[in-house]
Chains A and B, each alone.
Chain A
Amino acid sequence: MKKKKPKIAVWKFASCDGCQLSLLDCEDELLTVADEIEIANFPEASRRVLKGPYDLSLVEGSITTPHDEERIHQVRRSSKYLITIGACATAGGIQALRNFKDVNEFISIVYANPTYIDTLETSTPISSHVPVDFELRGCPINKMQLVEVISAFLKDRKPVTPPHSTCIECKLKGNVCVMVAQGTMCLGPVTHAGCDAICPSYNRGCYGCFGPKETPNTASLGDWLGEQGTGDPEILRVFRGFNAYAPSFRKESERHEEKKPDH
């Protein structure tokens, strides 16, 4: 008897849609993958909505509203396996910059009638609210890693997504180190691999869009950047980017906030 296809759902919270677009950007693989699974809920791509429970949920975006805070629990309850995709879902995203400020000030800057806006004071990752089975990093995620994660799920094995740093990828590509050779600020040593070291390949420093690697020594890199003459405001900004609320990046950015720029 033919095995029933696993039901997959794609969910969106606060985000730019880029990570779920990665699935549609799998131009060569999309129809093959679609043959193996039942796309049961994917509003960006389809009007069709099948009822849960879902075998696999892919969750994009961070939690920023009281409604979404409730909704993620419903998603978790209806999902056997839940994978978060991208920097928003795994670290709170760029919108987590509000976590360092007073959100009411943000609302009054942006909107004429702040009372219409219903938002939380923070932007938090999915794992702050419900248990997550696997986190895929990146702003945006790498589409081939997404295919790997879905394939691994279908074959009931662990996904192969290397935990090492962007530096290793960069060395494997044979790039000349932009930090050593040009003195360019680069987060490669502490950033999770997965992008194929594109920034150094395009003559610029890594800005950490894949978030912290496993056990990153951010303090050492922060000190070293300072010794090379990079000012605290600049070090703070580079750690406070698309993964600003990931604990190790957050801690390092705060360390440079405490210091005054003149020492």
Chain B
Amino acid sequence: MKKKNRTIKVDYLARVEGEGALHIEIKENQVSDVKLKIFEPPRFFEAFLRGRDFKEAPDITARICGICPVAYQMSAVHAMEKALGIQVQGPLRDLRRLLYCGEWIESHTLHIYMLHAPDFLGYEDAVQMAKDHKDVVERGLQLKKVGNEIVSLVGGREIHPVNVKVGGFYKVLAKTEFDHLKERLKWARDAALETVKWSSRFDFPAFDQDYEYVSLSHPDEYPFNEGRIISNKGLDIEAQEFENNFREDHVEYTNALHSVLIDRGSYFVGPMARFNLNFDQLSPLAKESAKESGIGDHCHNPFQSIVVRSIEVLYACDEALRIIESYEKPDQPSVDFEIQEGVGAACTEAPRGLLYHRYKIDEEGQILDARIIPPTSQNQKTIENDLWQFVPKHLDLPQEKLTWQCEQAIRNYDPCISCATHFLKLDIVRS
């Protein structure tokens, strides 16, 4: 018997990073309320960054998230370098791309195999899934391991790397030290190719939506650390214009702020945004596999984000191999510079999407002000919008199944709730 009034409630969302809950009200077969609640305790990073030395920003902000520390380190160093008026180029720039490849491989693979795929195959976790699909889970674990090996080698360790520094690195490796990785990456590239094929065969609910996708875009490469911020609906700005175009709202039921495009509303960051806006910059193999998978050159169904993530893993393997093959050890591990006062903003592409940092430093390099906007806060409103759209189409499902599918709709975004709760410096309060 169908009930007209229902509540879908998930007290503690599983297989996401951090602590969140979901609350959906259905009245007279209409969705009347959707709340993605983030109850992860706030940790106040922007507040205690004040008074710290500029050199500490990459180590401190890495602690916002154990899943994507490289993203924090990359946005932090690029923003600081803008403030100091320096640019890192050549092999040091390539090494930063390589480090990011490692993080994309490990973070995306963790999400694909351990957090997202169990939804499609009907398991509560990857360990249960391994009982029936051992080879698949082992392939995922080994692929993730290759990503972690890159981060460990370039960064010193896989979680909270120690080698990233404003101006470059503390230490750079000789070309021969990457030899062993080359063979591992060739295996990983094959495993990534298999991952694309495997994930593209899942059963996806029909759910194409009209989103505003936002990502970096660079004329010569698939975006990691540099580029203009663009969208499919006309946005085209530099990172320092971010705060003129985006606004964060503090909503009562969540400890994470909602980011919106001013006058336009919700938007979508992450693998699907990057893919749809930068398809032409993917490697030939990644493009070919996208076409063979049936996705083609665009994807508007967030349930298929698992395939797009797999294509990005394949690209990251290709890109890592390209960098290692052309790498020559630079003369110095970092560029020289003078400390000066300034303000710098930068965006990079975390696995989950655009990550914005801005710092103001004084003439001694002390941080006066910091602002950080992570991808999950940017996607929060879009996640809620998806649920508003998704639930009415699936009211016939039994409660347990509908609840699970709503959880899955959230996991499409690989939300990182630990990232999302520390937020912003707010002197812009609205009426």
Residues of A within 8 A of B (CB): 12-19, 21-22, 24-25, 27-28, 30-31, 34, 39, 42-48, 64-65, 67-68, 93-95, 97-98, 101, 103, 105-107, 109-113, 116-117, 119, 139-140, 195, 198-199, 201-204, 207, 209, 234, 237, 241-242
Contacts and interface: CB of A to CB of B under 8 A. Distances in A.
Given A110-B42, A111-B426, A202-B162, A18 B127 contact: no
18 contacts: A21-B67, A31-B130, A31-B137, A43-B14, A45-B126, A46-B127, A46-B128, A47-B15, A47-B125, A47-B404, A110-B422, A112-B249, A112-B430, A116-B250, A119-B41, A119-B42, A140-B66, A237-B53
Given A94-B63, A241-B59, 14 more contacts: A18-B66, A24-B114, A43-B13, A46-B124, A46-B127, A48-B124, A64-B42, A93-B63, A98-B48, A103-B44, A105-B47, A199-B156, A203-B333, A204-B163
Contact of B162 (A64, A204, A241): A204
Given A16-B418, A17-B65, A209-B160, A64 B14 contact: no
Interface in B412-431: 416, 418, 422-426, 429-430
Given A97-B48, A111-B426, A48 B130 contact: no
Interface in B130-152: 130, 134, 137-138, 141-142, 144-145, 148
Contacts of B124: 46-48
Contacts, number: 189
Nearest to A105: B47
A107 B407 CA distance: 30
Contact of A44 (B17, B138, B159, B430): B17
A128 to B, nearest CB: 16
B19 interface: yes
Interface in B241-265: 249-250, 252, 255, 257
Given A109-B47, A113-B252, A17 B162 contact: no
Given A27-B144, A195-B157, A202-B156, A106 B44 contact: yes
Contacts of A112: 249-250, 257, 426, 429-430
Which of A14, A93, A112 neighbours the largest number of chain B CB atoms within 10 Å of its CB? A112
Contact of B160 (A18, A44, A48, A204): A18
Given A18-B160, A31-B127, A195-B157, A237 B56 contact: yes
Interface in B48-102: 48, 50, 52-53, 56, 59-60, 63-67, 69
A106 B162 contact: no
B362 interface: no
Contact of B63 (A65, A111, A113, A242): A242
A29 to B, nearest CB: 10
Interface string B32-51: 00000001111111111010
Complex A-B, nearest 4 residue pairs according to Cβ-Cβ distance, in ascending order: A18-B66, A46-B125, A106-B47, A27-B145
A237 B52 contact: yes
A30 B141 contact: yes
B110 interface: yes
B170 interface: yes
A93 B42 CA distance: 13
A64 B41 contact: yes
Contacts of B349: none
Contact of A25 (B142, B158, B252, B429): B158
A166 B43 CA distance: 28
Contacts of A139: 63, 160
Interface of B: 12-19, 39-48, 50, 52-53, 56, 59-60, 63-67, 69, 110, 114-115, 124-128, 130, 134, 137-138, 141-142, 144-145, 148, 156-160, 162-163, 165, 170-171, 249-250, 252, 255, 257, 333, 404, 407, 416, 418, 422-426, 429-430
A111 B137 contact: no
A207 B157 CA distance: 14
Which of A67, A101, A109 neighbours the largest number of chain B CB atoms within 10 Å of its CB? A109
Given A94-B48, A109-B47, A202-B163, A16 B63 contact: yes
B159 A18 contact: yes
A201 B156 contact: yes
A112 B42 CA distance: 13
A203 B43 contact: no
A209 B175 CA distance: 30
Contact of B66 (A21, A39, A113): A21
Nearest to B425: A109
Contacts of B43: 14, 64, 94-95
Contacts of A47: 14-15, 124-125, 404, 407
B110 A24 contact: yes
Given A47-B124, A106-B47, A17 B67 contact: yes
B356 to A, nearest CB: 15
A198 B170 CA distance: 12
B141 A27 contact: yes
Which of B16, B63, B125, B126 neighbours the largest number of chain A CB atoms within 10 Å of its CB? B63
B103 to A, nearest CB: 12
A47 B424 CA distance: 31
Contact of A22 (B137, B159, B418, B422): B159
Contacts of A119: 41-42
Contacts of B130: 31, 34
Contacts of B128: 46, 48
B142 A14 contact: no
A157 B144 CA distance: 32
Nearest to A244: B48
A196 to B, nearest CB: 9
